[in-house]
Amino acid sequence: MDKADQLIIRVLRDDARISNTDLAKKLDLSEATVRRRIAGLVGSGAIRRFTVEVDDPDQTSAIMWVSVSPSIPTGQVSGKIK
């Protein structure tokens, strides 16, 4: 992943709905280059999905501290938390 790919990802994190044309203008790239790079990032798994954050007043967030035995693999723990 080069600098252009990193910039594309940074912009998409802020606005996943930005058009390829607007993204290209913002990064001073051609629209075809942006389209090709996004397809490559999706194909490689660097971009797994495009999502939307919803302003939901009923939604609750929480921060938790989890103490885990060193003998349990981290992947198992994170899988259970998700």
pLDDT tens by residue, 10-47: 999 999 999 999 999 999 999 999 999 999 999 999 99
Residue type, 4: A
* Domain ranges within the chain, ordered by starting residue: 3-44
Which CATH topology does 3-44 take? Arc Repressor Mutant, subunit A (1.10.10)
Terminal Cα-to-Cα distance of the chain (whole angstroms): 27
CB 34 within 8 A of CB 20: yes
Q: CA 60, CA 48: separation in Å to the nearest integer? A: 25
Of all residues in the chain, what percent are helix, strand and coil, respectively (each to 5)?
A: 50, 0, 50
- pLDDT band of residue 57 (cuts 50, 70, 90) is confident
CB 68 within 8 A of CB 59: no
CB 41 within 8 A of CB 8: yes
pLDDT value at residue 31: 96
